[in-house]
Amino acid sequence: MGNIDFKDKKNIYAIAVVLLILAAAYCVYTYMWDPFVLEREQLERDLQSAQSELDKINAKKHRIAELELQLVQAEKDFEKLKEMFPEEEKVPLRLQDLYAVLRSSGVQIQRFNPEGRSEREHYIENRYSIAVNSGYHMLGYLFAEIANFNYPTAISNLRLNRYSGITAELQKAETHGWTPITMSVTFNLTTYTSKKAPK
């Protein structure tokens, strides 16, 4: 390769074209490509940030759905608790429940008397005095059914006495084959109601 002749117009023209191309490439790189790369990187960061926020929002949406289901379940549980511990004693319903199990157990009711109520710190006890005539197995069935009420109950002051007409009952049982009445039973049945907190 020889030296470039700067007096030759062709060489000068070629050098000028090369310089123009280099200048144009520099301008394209500096003012177009480099900002484009920077903007793309910024957009990618923004996209990642937006995706992260979207993931958080979706996670919260799932959590909201879970909380809504929990709220629905809590409302159902609260209604059950209100049924178990009503704000007022429902004597007619208690009577219906008791008479239903008395009929199914076969015992003979002699007395069902409300005996007042006692206030405790957070609840009220409602007492009933009950007297029945019953056989041993009938009484066991009766207490099992009372234990299965959908509200809390308690049996106290249980007293068992020989039934005054046991001789006649045993004769009828032998003749007709039914379960005899052998006991006179008295007990207290206690149910519970909620107590509103003072305002």
- 40-52 tens-digit pLDDT: 888 888 888 888 8
- Decide which of 35, 53, 84 is a domain's last residue: 84
Phi, psi dihedrals of residue 158, rounded to the nearest 5°: -75, 125
Whether residues 41 and 69 share a domain: the answer is: yes
pTM of the predicted model, to two decimals? 0.55
Determine the average pLDDT of the residues in 96-111.
84
**Calpha distance 132→181 (Å, rounded):** 10
Amino acid letter at 115? E
Whether residues 141 and 98 share a domain: the answer is: yes
Is residue 4 predicted with pLDDT exceeding 90? no
Does residue 12 lie in a domain region?
A: yes
Numbers of helices and strands, H then E, in the chain: 5, 4
Whether residues 72 and 126 share a domain: the answer is: no
Full domain range(s) for residue 117: 91-194
Whether residues 78 and 104 share a domain: the answer is: no
| Tokens of residue 185, six digits | 């039973």
In the chain, the number of structural domains is 2
Sign of the torsion angle spanned by Cα atoms 109, 113, 118, 119: positive
DSSP label at 32? I
Phi, psi dihedrals of residue 17, rounded to the nearest 5°: -65, -45
DSSP label at 2? -
Grouping H, G, I as helix, E, B as strand and the rest as coil, residue 185 is: strand
| Tokens of residue 12, six digits | 């000068």
Asked whether the beta carbons of 160 and 131 are under 8 A apart, the reply is: no
pLDDT, one tens digit per residue, over 120-141 is 888 888 888 999 988 888 889 9
| Tokens of residue 18, six digits | 């090369």
Whether residues 189 and 109 share a domain: the answer is: yes
Percentage of the chain surpassing pLDDT 90? Answer: 9
Whether residues 108 and 80 share a domain: the answer is: no
- Decide which of 39, 56, 84 is a domain's last residue: 84
- Decide which of 59, 84, 109 is a domain's last residue: 84
Determine the average pLDDT of the residues in 170-185.
71
Whether residues 176 and 100 share a domain: the answer is: yes
pLDDT, one tens digit per residue, over 28-39 is 777 778 778 788
